Structure 1
Amino acid sequence: MVSPGIMQQGSLFLHAMAFGVALIFCYDLLRIFRRGVPHGTVWIAVEDMFFWLISAFVLFQLMYEKNDGKLRWFVIMGVLLGMILYNVSLSRFVVRFGSFFFRLILRVIRAVIMGIVKILQFLLKPLGKCIQRTCRTGKKSSRYVKKQLKKLYKTVKMGLCKL
């Protein structure tokens, strides 16, 4: 017969391992996002800082609820063991396939938005001609409108290319 104290600590160890697996899985989601939307070192550092701060608070919450806030090294070892087991076994595949699908989704979104931009260009082209005919200054106004529309198009295109 196993004592209830040992059962409770065994359950806590398994919860800690599950937390370690969930923690690295969430970090893998962050890595997938970084591969799909690349950004600089400063933003990566800021993301990591917030991720690990939030993780520390959640780990503290786990220890507070399950073990009355007592610091137990086997809990930290359980978290580390869960992190290592997940990282060695599944992490590589999750990041690889997750990145592939995330990039695929981004490409589809980009294609749809570019299609909408092309349709808007097609629809707004007669508007430029109409403005050219009705304005007093004619060419000057149409050049201005055309220039503004071209700036807008380039801004949208550059923004989409950064995705």
Structure 2
Amino acid sequence: MMTVSENIFREMDFFAVSFVLGMILVLVYDCLRILRRLVRHGVIWISMEDLCYWIFTAFIIFAMLYQKNDGLIRGFSIGGIVLGMFLYNQYISRHTVRYIAYILKKVIWFVQKICGFVLKPFQKAAKKVANGSSILAGKGRKFKKSLNKRLKRAGKLIKIGIVKK
């Protein structure tokens, strides 16, 4: 049989786990928000991401409740999750999303500049090939037109020859 202090310690542990879980869940959502700042999403795509996030969140909360409290939903555990989410969102999340998104944008910009510098000779070569093929295509069109004229003339001569006989 547990003593009162062991029960209280277990409940405090359960509350602390709930609190930390709330913070972790907002951290996961922050990853989605950072992704949204880096890559623009439409309304439907954002809705799908949010739906998947909340389904994931429900499973994680259920797993924690099942493991720590035999699946019983306790008001203070939900309160701990909400409090952890609220405090993390108020004091940490804003800065985390802003600065990490800023740093990642700068890294992406830098990588794009390096790739642009490295790929520039290939782009110039591709333009020359494209220009050459357009020149050939223009000559091909001229040849096709002249061939059509010759065939029409030959066809008319054949018709004239058949009609005269």
Q: TM-score range by the shorter chain?
A: 0.7 to 0.9
| Among candidates 6, 15, 18, match of residue 17 of structure 2 | 15
Unaligned runs of 5+ in 1: 145-163
Once residues 57 and 139 of structure 1 are traced to their aligned partners in structure 2, the CA distance between those partners, rounded to angstroms, is 62
TM-superposed CA distance for 1:6, in Å, is 1.6
TM-superposed CA distance for 1:19, in Å, is 0.5
TM-superposed CA distance for 1:112, in Å, is 2.8
| Among candidates 105, 115, 135, match of residue 139 of structure 1 | 135
| Among candidates 39, 42, 57, match of residue 37 of structure 1 | 39
1:119-138 superposed Cα distances (whole Å, 9 cap, x missing partner): 21234466x39xx5xx9xx9
Q: CA RMSD in A?
A: 2.6
Amino acid at match of 2:135: K
Name the counterpart of 2:119.
117
* TM-score using structure 1 length: 0.74
TM-superposed CA distance for 1:40, in Å, is 0.7
Name the counterpart of 2:83.
81
Once residues 106 and 33 of structure 2 are traced to their aligned partners in structure 1, the CA distance between those partners, rounded to angstroms, is 16
1:67-101 superposed Cα distances (whole Å, 9 cap, x missing partner): 11111111110000001111111111111101101
Once residues 4 and 89 of structure 2 are traced to their aligned partners in structure 1, the CA distance between those partners, rounded to angstroms, is 32
Unaligned runs of 5+ in 2: 141-165
TM-superposed CA distance for 1:118, in Å, is 1.4
* TM-score using structure 2 length: 0.73
Indicate the percent of aligned positions where both proteins have the same amino acid.
34
Name the counterpart of 1:59.
61
Amino acid at match of 1:139: I
Choose 10-19 or 88-97, whichever is displaced more: 88-97
Amino acid at match of 1:33: L
Once residues 52 and 22 of structure 1 are traced to their aligned partners in structure 2, the CA distance between those partners, rounded to angstroms, is 13
Once residues 101 and 91 of structure 1 are traced to their aligned partners in structure 2, the CA distance between those partners, rounded to angstroms, is 15
1:7-38 superposed Cα distances (whole Å, 9 cap, x missing partner): 11110100000001111111112111101111
